[in-house]
Structure 1
Amino acid sequence: MTHVVHLSSVHYPFDPRIFHKQLQTLSAAGYRTTLLVHHDESIVRDGVDVRSVGNVNTRLERWRNLPTLFREARAEDADVYHVHDPELLPIGVLLSLTTDARVVYDVHEDYADAIRVREWIPDPVKPVLQRVFPAIQGALTRPLDLVVTADDATRESLASRTSTPVETIRNLPKVAGIETDRIDLERSHEHVLAYVGGLDRERGLLNMLQVTARLRERGLDVGLWLLGPFQDKEIEREARRYMEREGIAEHVRLFGYVDYDEIFSYLSAADIGLLLVDEARFERNVPTKFFEYLYCGLPVVLTEVPSLEPYADSDYCVSVPERDLERATTEIERLLEDSDARQAMSDAGREAVVSEYSWEAERDRLLAAYAQLTGSPGTDGIAGPTDETARTDDEYE
């Protein structure tokens, strides 16, 4: 049985892209799958062996633990190593040079672009890092066997700097096995706006709070559901101060981290999905939550960001200029007061995901890439999803 080991020092063990999509896909196709990650305990879940390499509380502890992660990875004696964070690139290179395994580097986003909004990086250093990081990343990928990106723009940028094959495997939502009524939720407002993901300025936290306050000033009984953790203490303090000052604290529900299997129940209980993000931050990185909203039947009100131009159809979403919160408020008000329009957009959005924008198409790309790497995909000659797997995938994740 071909043994595949994924490594992450940054992500939560049950990260949607790593665990719910890639590892579960590989496990279902017959691969032996292991995830080395920081966690409280080692467990087996959904056919994946989640192996803890210790727990860390700070960024410095995480970096100090990298040698342990490398030793644990080598001890697995895997056929394929798949690393998920830029800080693990040196480990990927060492694994490539010291083992016979194939090594894959997974680029979740354009990291050079992300440097701009990393709070822990000193502002004077950011421009320098943004200039040099792409060249360093490209050089470190050359000894590897495959680079995977989540979008075409990042693939094109990286492909120009490395001799290693680069392939796009988009981070689209699964439409197999998901239950949208997994949790029984009660609404305390006539209308509910929803957002899923990390909470910070670039992802539109303050914009969403301002829009909620404006809608309530217009007399609409609106609540805001935020499904995700604050990205730092400062933005949390600023958000809470704003909510108290504007009198909307009781109308904003902060759920914190929500397990991937449960997110879709929350979204399906809302009316509109919000994506009022920073345009520069999402110039190339496609926010997966856009497709998750659509699958759950939510019309989406979003900032006009370049990465979503190919997908932002007026049949199921409304685009507004980045800083025009008055326009965003008016468009949301219009949709909330027109249930027929919301239903038509709901039906169109869900159909778009099921027919075009689902993980199932990307799954086949992942399996094909692994088949080429290993020469004998999975076990028992499994080269992709079996008929039984395909039948199981008729339900949403």
Structure 2
Amino acid sequence: MEIIQVPHLYRPSIGGIENYAYRLNNSLSDAGHTTETITTDLSLDGGGPLEKDPNTKYCATTTTVYRNPVSIELYRRVRQSTADVYHLHSPWFLPTVEAAHAISRETPMILTIHGVVPPRHSVRARLLDKAYKPIAQYVLDCMDAVIVLGNSEKQSLLNRFNVPPGRVSVIPNGIRPKQYRVSETDVEAFNRKYGLDPATPTILSVCRLVPVKKPDVLVDAITTHLPDVDLDLVLIGSGDGEFFETLTDRADDRVTFLSTVDFDELQCAYHSSDVFAFTGTSEGLSTVVLEAMNASLPIVSTSAGALSDVITHGNNGWLLTTPPDATEVADAIQFYISNPDRRQAVGRRNRALVESSFDWEEIAARIEDLYQEVV
């Protein structure tokens, strides 16, 4: 079977959709399928540690609308391409709309929605969401099948849009748990490199440092509400502009910013930490949360997207209100760093849950089965 994926961004760009599409391509290739990716050249703007993918067509971006790319070349390439199945990603991105229009309705199309509810962190974002809704409905109408990442996401989709329930499949995100095994020597080297004391509790967060991810709430929880607590906060992710400058100004000397790290160092970061925090308000099912659970960390998280399907309050971590409040974030962090036995018990449950329910190879096989159903 020949499958073409059309994400708005792909490797070497770093992000949840990019990682999902990349893992899926690898699994499909291993299963004997032919894969190709068509994306925009905004994927090449990050300057991170990853290389261009040789099986990917990076199309020139014609313009952007609120940082959402439009590519005439992408539209043309998709229209001229042939495949047994096209797999698109999230209706909120304009390349998805372009691809849905370019592909013949006789060819099966599948859409994975990486977060049914888009960002609504400002009045402008809420107005854009309302105005864009008919366009998202058009994309959904073109699809033969829609994948959502959790049961709560399916219910949100059915509440917001006119989609036949039988067309919607719940297939979660996943990771390859065995890829995240690291040696104590590597973790010790990571701690030395970044000046982290293993005896000091470390809070880790991995995300883009942008308003919708609410890293400012996490920094405020540490600096304003836990000013005298002996801990370290490590924030891994890129950021720019005024928001990032404000974020660094609010931080104290317990906060470490790492713009980008390679995969080996990211593994070490998980295993050198004690608590993982996710404060975002718009999400599907975050890969980094699953990675942190696999590293036996308790999760302090909002209930955005499908996260409430994975994290039960008290059993897997602390579910915050959405949007999060800095006082509550501080309370959750204080609870886990003050109760090491509880922290470790939650971590063990999280690792077992990921191994049993979120192994990527099983999830990729379910997606492959869905391809077979629509062909």
Question: What is the deviation of 1:225?
Answer: 0.9
Which amino acid is 1:300 matched to? I
Summarize the Cα distance change of 1:132–1:49 in structure 2 as closer, same or farther, 3 Å threshold. same
The aligned residue for residue 108 of structure 1 is 114
Aligned to 1:80: 85
- Return closer, same or farther for 1:258/1:147 CA change in 2, 3 Å cut-off: farther
Distance 1:56-1:310 versus aligned 2 partners, 3 A rule: same
1:300–1:318 CA contact under 8 A, matched in 2: yes
Could you give the per-residue CA deviations for residues 96-141 of structure 1, whole angstroms, max 9, x where no partner exists?
Answer: 328x53222222112xx32423x7xxx35x4444335334322333
Change (3 A) 1:317 1:357: same
One-letter code aligned to 2:25:
L
Unaligned runs of 5+ in 2: none
Q: 1:176 to 1:57 in 2, by over 3 A?
A: farther
Amino acid of the structure 2 residue aligned with 1:52: Y
CA contact (8 A) 2:173 2:287 kept: yes
* Gap change, CA 1:155 and 1:57, over 3 Å in 2: same
Relative to structure 1, the CA distance from residue 341 to residue 238 in structure 2 (aligned partners, 3 Å threshold; closer, same or farther) is same
Give the direction of change, closer, same or farther, for the CA distance of 1:342–1:116 in structure 2 (3 Å limit). closer
Structure 2 contact 114–285 (Cα < 8 Å) conserved:
no
The reply on whether 1:67 has 2:62 as its aligned counterpart is no
Does 2:310 align with 1:296?
no
Q: Aligned residue for 2:217?
A: 207
Which position in structure 2 is the counterpart of 1:238?
A: 246
TM-score normalised over the length of structure 2? 0.79
State the one-letter code of the partner of 2:295: C
- Displacement of 1:290 in angstroms is 2.7
Q: Aligned ranges for residues 34-49 of structure 1 at < 5 Å?
A: 34-37=36-39, 38=41, 39-40=43-44, 49=55
Letter aligned with residue 317 of structure 1: G
Is residue 2:53 matched to residue 1:52? no
1:229 has 2:229 as partner: no
Shift in Å, 1:372? 1.8
2:369 maps to a residue whose letter is: A
Partner deviation per Cα, 1:131-184 (whole Å, 9 max, x = no partner)? 353343223332332222233344345455135822222223332434445774
Q: Distance in 1 between matches of 2:178 and 2:267?
A: 12
Quote how far apart the aligned CAs of 1:94 are: 3.2
What secondary structure sits across from 1:97 in the alignment?
Answer: coil
2:172 alignment partner AA: R
Q: Say if 2:330 is the partner of 1:315.
A: no
**Relative to structure 1, is the Cα distance of residues 72 and 292 closer, same or farther in structure 2, using a 3 angstrom cutoff?**
same
Q: CA deviation at 1:226?
A: 0.9
* Structure number with higher relative contact order (C-alpha < 8 Å, ≥ 6 residues apart): 1
**Structure 1: gaps (5+ residues):** 375-397
The aligned counterpart of 1:97 is: 104
In the TM superposition, residue 90 of structure 1 has moved relative to its aligned partner by: 3.4
Please report the RMSD computed on the Cα atoms of aligned residues, expressed in angstroms. 3.4
Quickly say closer, same or farther: Cα 1:185–1:310, change in 2 above 3 A: same
In structure 2, C-alpha distance between the alignment counterparts of 1:145 and 1:304, rounded to whole Å: 29
Aligned twin of 1:351: 352
2:335 corresponds to 1:329: no
The code of the aligned residue for 1:252 comes to V
Give the superposition deviation at 1:320: 4.7
Q: CA deviation at 1:216?
A: 5.9
Cα deviation for residue 269 of structure 1 reads 1.4
Q: Is this contact kept in 2: 1:295–1:350, CA < 8 A? A: yes
Decide whether the 8 Å contact of 1:139 with 1:162 is kept in 2.
no
Matching residue's letter, 2:248: R
SS of 1:301's partner is strand
Aligned pairs, how many?
350
Letter in 1 for 2:58: S
Q: Which amino acid aligns with 1:116?
A: R
Alpha-carbon shift at residue 298 of structure 1 (Å):
1.0
Residue 33 of structure 1 aligns with which residue?
A: 35
1:196 counterpart residue number: 206
Say whether residues 1:165 and 2:167 are aligned partners: yes
| 1:115 and 1:129 in contact (8 A); partners too | no
Aligned residues of 2:152 and 2:309 also touching (Cα < 8 A): no
For 1:24, the equivalent position in structure 2 comes to: 26
Shift of 1:31: 0.8
Which residue matches 1:388? Answer: none
Looking at structure 2, the residues matched to 102 and 43 of structure 1 have their Cα atoms a distance apart, in angstroms, of 30
Which of 274, 282, 286 is the matching residue for 1:271? 274
**Percent of residue pairs identical:** 17
Residues 16 and 260, structure 1, Cα contact 8 Å, conserved in 2: no
Q: Given the superposition, is the C-alpha separation of residues 58 and 91 from structure 1 closer, same or farther in structure 2, using an over 3 Å criterion?
A: closer
AA aligned to 1:373 is: V
